Chain A
Amino acid sequence: MSATAAAETVDLASASVRELNQRLHDAAGGGPAAWRVENPSGAHALAAGLDAELDVEIDGHAGYYCAGMNKHATVRVAGNVGVGVAENMMSGLVVVEGSASQAAGATGRGGLLVIKGSASARCGISMKGIDIVVHGSIGHAGAFMGQKGRLVVCGDAGPDLGDSIYEARLYVRGEVAGLGADCIEKEMRDEHTAELRELLELAGADADPADFRRYGSARELYTFDVDNAGSY
């Protein structure tokens, strides 16, 4: 679904981010469902805190915390995004046509984040249920302390992937520069192939699930053991 010609347009060359977000928040009570944001110019907190089934298209680059804490809404960014895109997202869909800076999808608890380019360090840090699909590669410490949810990387992953991971599931197609503490490669069973296929489809990624490897927690650091002190 892309915003139609009838979309309500907010031009940030003249309107402020405050005006934009207030209008988007007010739209939860009824009002236009399709929105288009022009001249975003890397502004921060664009479309943050949405709480309705809106369709928002951002026509350019966005700064930090774009679509932060999103609920229900679909937000598409026709550019790159700064730190913490869709941080703590609860539900809905966020699609980034370009690349993302650090901490993409941090602490997210639901919904789907798609990054068509690559993502920088700490992608999916402390993720708590969100699904993230990156068409390109990710930087270091991906899914650091990941608690829940799934991170799919069609390219390569940087060092310390899944460091101190809990129950998040990671799928990487390319090379993994290194695994973090307590993160191990795990067997790809049918249910994993099935969920990966579904995620790739939802994210519009043209990749074969058979080419991916799965990583997750060895669960050896779940309870503190003095003999493991060197692993931290």
Chain B
Amino acid sequence: MTEFDVASKQEGFGTEATGRWRPGLRESHLFDRNAIHEIHRMAREGIYDIRGFGAKRKVPHFDDLLFLGASVSRYPLEGYREKCATDVTLGTRFAKEPITIDIPITIAGMSFGALSAPAKEALGRGASAMGTSTTTGDGGMLPEERDHSTKLVYQILPSRYGMNPDDLRRADAIEVVVGQGAKPGGGGMLLGQKISDRVAEMRDLPKGVDQRSACRHPDWTGPDDLEIKIGELREITDWRVPIYVKVGATRTYFDVALAVKAGADVIVLDGMEGGTAASQEVFIEHVGIPILAAIPEAVRSLQELGMHREVQLIVSGGIRNGADAAKALALGADAVSIGVGAVVALGDNSHHFEDDYEAIGTSAGFYDDWHEGRDPVGISTQDEELAKRFDPELGGRRLANYLRAMVLETQTLARACGKSHVHNLEPEDLVALTFEAAAMAKVPVAGTSWIPGQD
């Protein structure tokens, strides 16, 4: 072998398919095929892995909780006859114009840049059809999004890309983003291949530049400044619209108390499972706490301040269906928000595109390279040809259907527990399947009255 052959063979390590198991071959639990593949990739590229989606590791989640349902001591509500209300009013604390959403599920902030313009439009269409809100993202407010969203939350992020007082005044609520569950303490990321002319212009940056946006706000640090900042936003909008504060779930008890003290109308709490368009995998998998553990901490903080239900709590992170939503509400949240679930409802990771997924080295159900802009479904891309594959009207209908089904599931569980409003669900309706979930959610292990950590 020449020196060149040796070098290129080493470069290629880790790109080959993995070996095949035979009896007698024992795979290491720690150094399994994925770990070995990743070590080879690191040795080849010398850089961390960046990807979209949320954490893929297994963490205690809503699946580890069960509802008790009604029986002799409680009576249920009739599924098709008796009302189970789902409306939520947000921003009752200070805003002159709080917003009411018809369902307890909202669409989380996802940036134009990460998602195509038609995908953003579809989110607006779907959310509006169900009477709920959608949220802008790192990259400013898209006119298509404003036009198709009856209730639009405008994010103010550290990068302040596209930040504009006219958009602020056009918004139905404002969300100051301190952090995100997928990367608490990290800034936004949008790689050069996704910076089209339009994205570049909205962000005041040259085309094709890798955008590693700021992780701290440029004009405030700490809770005392945040209070003054929120004061400014209220002044600019004449105290009309609610102001949310979004945090990744970490030191939740304190963060929530400080956000309340800073004057937030609504707390948006995003668990470590929460989705992202592009982050370092090490961040996605290793920073923050599961939403299951964070909700009771947030509720405790709000209750101690006498602010539970007065300052509303929206939670997110791996919420897929009505069961997840109902359990989050039972733990004390006022509403949930969804990112990945909504993107999947639009058609992401659909097996209809299997051939296209294979062509870019992945497979339906596994695709997470949303940062690359090569999405065959046309959602997480700025490539006009790819984006054309996506029909925003159809996408909007699919999202509305998904939300409708989630709400029906949530109501089914609430009625089974005898509740005439989904907000009447309570921790008392829940038990846990595992010690971990019991300790985190602070509900008893099923069949016992034991809550680990509590006497």
Cβ-defined partner of B228 (8 Å) among A51, A64, A71: A64
Tell whether B206 is near chain A: CB-to-CB under 8 Å: yes
Contact assessment for A125 and B218 in the assembled complex, using a CB-CB cutoff below 8 Å = yes
Tell whether A18 is near chain B: CB-to-CB under 8 Å: yes
Given contacts A44-B228, A107-B219, A125-B218, contact A166 B206 (CB under 8 A): yes
Task: List the A side residues contacting B47 at CB < 8 Å.
Answer: 224, 226, 229
With the chains together, A113 CA to B160 CA distance in Å? 19
Beta-carbon contacts of A167-188 to B below 8 Å, as 1s and 0s? 1000000000000000000000
Tell whether B364 is near chain A: CB-to-CB under 8 Å: no
Least CB distance from B319 to A in Å reads 32
Cβ-defined partner of B206 (8 Å) among A83, A129, A222: A222
Contact assessment for B168 and A69 in the assembled complex, using a CB-CB cutoff below 8 Å = yes
Contact assessment for B165 and A65 in the assembled complex, using a CB-CB cutoff below 8 Å = no
Contact assessment for A88 and B165 in the assembled complex, using a CB-CB cutoff below 8 Å = yes
Contact assessment for A48 and B236 in the assembled complex, using a CB-CB cutoff below 8 Å = yes
Chain A interface size, under 10 / 10 to 19 / 20 to 34 / 35 or more: 35 or more
Tell whether B354 is near chain A: CB-to-CB under 8 Å: no
Tell whether B231 is near chain A: CB-to-CB under 8 Å: yes
Contact assessment for B238 and A166 in the assembled complex, using a CB-CB cutoff below 8 Å = no
Beta-carbon contacts of B157-170 to A below 8 Å, as 1s and 0s? 00110011110110
Least CB distance from B189 to A in Å reads 10
Tell whether A76 is near chain B: CB-to-CB under 8 Å: no
Contact assessment for A103 and B165 in the assembled complex, using a CB-CB cutoff below 8 Å = no
Tell whether B305 is near chain A: CB-to-CB under 8 Å: no
Task: List the B side residues contacting A51 at CB < 8 Å.
Answer: 165-166
Task: List the B side residues contacting A103 at CB < 8 Å.
Answer: 218-219
Q: How many A-B residue pairs have CB under 8 A?
A: 107
Least CB distance from A105 to B in Å reads 10
With the chains together, A128 CA to B206 CA distance in Å? 11
Tell whether B23 is near chain A: CB-to-CB under 8 Å: no
Task: List the A side residues contacting B169 at CB < 8 Å.
Answer: 49
Contact assessment for B165 and A90 in the assembled complex, using a CB-CB cutoff below 8 Å = yes
State which of B53-61, B207-215, B332-340, B396-404 sits at the interface with chain A: B207-215
Task: List the B side residues contacting A128 at CB < 8 Å.
Answer: 160, 204
Tell whether B220 is near chain A: CB-to-CB under 8 Å: yes
Tell whether A39 is near chain B: CB-to-CB under 8 Å: no
Given contacts A83-B225, A147-B205, contact A126 B235 (CB under 8 A): no
Task: List the B side residues contacting A145 at CB < 8 Å.
Answer: 214
Task: List the B side residues contacting A69 at CB < 8 Å.
Answer: 165, 168, 236
Closest chain B residue, CB of each to CB of A64: B228
Residues A82-127 near B (CB distance < 8 A): 83-84, 87-88, 90, 102-103, 106-107, 109, 122, 125-126
Beta-carbon contacts of B216-234 to A below 8 Å, as 1s and 0s? 0011100001001101100
Cβ-defined partner of A122 (8 Å) among B45, B191, B218: B218
With the chains together, A226 CA to B206 CA distance in Å? 21
Given contacts A126-B160, A128-B160, A222-B209, contact A68 B228 (CB under 8 A): no
Cβ-defined partner of B219 (8 Å) among A48, A65, A166: A65
Given contacts A106-B219, A126-B214, A167-B206, contact A17 B164 (CB under 8 A): no
Task: List the B side residues contacting A88 at CB < 8 Å.
Answer: 160, 163-165
Closest chain B residue, CB of each to CB of A71: B165
Contact assessment for A21 and B238 in the assembled complex, using a CB-CB cutoff below 8 Å = yes
Task: List the A side residues contacting B209 at CB < 8 Å.
Answer: 166, 222-223
Closest chain A residue, CB of each to CB of B237: A49
Residues A198-232 near B (CB distance < 8 A): 222-224, 226, 229
Beta-carbon contacts of A44-56 to B below 8 Å, as 1s and 0s? 1100110100000
Tell whether A25 is near chain B: CB-to-CB under 8 Å: yes
Contact assessment for A84 and B164 in the assembled complex, using a CB-CB cutoff below 8 Å = no
Contact assessment for B235 and A45 in the assembled complex, using a CB-CB cutoff below 8 Å = yes
Contact assessment for A44 and B232 in the assembled complex, using a CB-CB cutoff below 8 Å = yes
Task: List the A side residues contacting B236 at CB < 8 Å.
Answer: 45, 48-49, 68-69
Least CB distance from A146 to B in Å reads 10
Tell whether B24 is near chain A: CB-to-CB under 8 Å: no
Least CB distance from B68 to A in Å reads 49
Contact assessment for B225 and A64 in the assembled complex, using a CB-CB cutoff below 8 Å = yes
Task: List the A side residues contacting B214 at CB < 8 Å.
Answer: 126, 145
Known: A49-B168, A63-B228, A125-B218. 17 other contacts (CB 8 A): A21-B238, A48-B235, A49-B235, A64-B225, A65-B232, A71-B165, A83-B225, A87-B218, A88-B160, A102-B219, A107-B219, A126-B214, A126-B218, A166-B209, A223-B210, A224-B47, A229-B47
A-B complex: 3 closest residue pairs judged by Cβ atoms: A49-B236, A84-B219, A69-B165
Q: What are 19 of the A-B contact pairs (CB < 8 Å)? A: A17-B235, A21-B238, A22-B238, A25-B238, A44-B231, A44-B232, A45-B228, A49-B235, A51-B166, A88-B163, A106-B160, A107-B160, A107-B219, A122-B218, A126-B159, A126-B218, A147-B205, A166-B205, A222-B209
- Interface residues of chain B, those whose CB is within 8 Å of chain A, are 45-47, 159-160, 163-166, 168-169, 191-192, 203-206, 208-210, 212, 214, 218-220, 225, 228-229, 231-232, 235-239
